[in-house]
Amino acid sequence: MDISELFDLTGRKALVTGASRGIGQAIAEALASAGADVAVTARDPGSLEETTSRIKALGRRAHAFALDVLDVGACGEVTATAAEALGGLDILVNNAGYEEIRPSLDVDEALWDKIVSTNLKGAFFCAQAAARQMLNSGKGGAIVNLCSLTSYVGVPTAVPYGSSKSGLMGMTHALATEWAGLGIRVNAIAPGYFRTGMTDVFYQDEAWQQAMLAKIPQRRFGAMDDVAGAVVFLASDSSAYITGTCIPIDGGYLASI
């Protein structure tokens, strides 16, 4: 067998949430580069223009939809609409997320609910909606959740975020075991330190950058291309016997602590 066939996503239909920039945009482009047609979502659909342009430039079909994953009903409606537009759904990447750094003694209920509901509740109901579409096709599919290093370790001033991402790890394990018999695989990746719009505030501090680089064995921060291969792998037939796992993409950070 040509090993490249195992990574080929030609004919597959993918949905990526939170794909207007950063890691979500890179994932959507990577899936298209591997052959998939891709639907992307963001709270502001106008922000998806660059992402859809990149997908189309690769010769794949692209569709953009407005979605705030805090709206559970919209998770189901948009997923169904995306599947209809694509002609099915084989892949879901749960990338939409929210973070706000705040000392734990200052966290109020509104902030807790916004972070945990976006990162965990929204991911669950998108996964549920995607699984229904995958079952309708009779072909099963692959779901990839975006966990975090905070799924493994505690980070001060990020307690709601870490709680949501630890919960997402548990959800990945539970759905993988429940849906394996249905032909749906559920895995995750855990990006380490990547400079994105959500994390840029940290990288503006040179002292923080140097302190963090000293903890990363590869001595560099993650680049968008670093997540692309892992997601394509987990979405493709090359990982057909893998479900319920999470791949840290962290330059060796977790291995060194």
Nearest Cα neighbor of 210 from 193, 196, 224, 197 is 193
- Measured CA to CA, the distance from residue 93 to residue 70 in angstroms comes to 16
CA–CA separation, 235 and 156 (whole Å): 33
Question: DSSP characters for 26-94?
Answer: HHHHHHHHTT-EEEEEESSGGGGHHHHHHHHHTT--EEEEE--TT-HHHHHHHHHHHHHHHTS--EEEE
Q: Which of the following is catalytic: 161, 193, 241, 253?
A: 161
Residue found by looking up tokens 């921060």 in the block: 221
Q: From CA 221, how far away is CA 135, in angstroms rounded? A: 39
Task: State residue 217 phi and psi, 5-degree precision.
Answer: -55, -35
Q: Which tokens in the block code for residue 153?
A: 């370790």
Let me know if 161 is a catalytic residue.
yes
Dig out the tokens for 117 from the structure. Answer: 């509901």
Alpha carbons 131 and 204: distance in angstroms, whole number = 40
Order of strands, edge to edge, in the sheet holding 13-16? 62-66, 37-42, 13-16, 91-94, 141-146, 184-191, 246-249
Q: What are phi and psi of 7, to 5 degrees?
A: -100, 0
For residues 172, 152, 196, 249, the Cα torsion angle rounded to the nearest 10 degrees is -80
Active site (catalytic) residues: 161
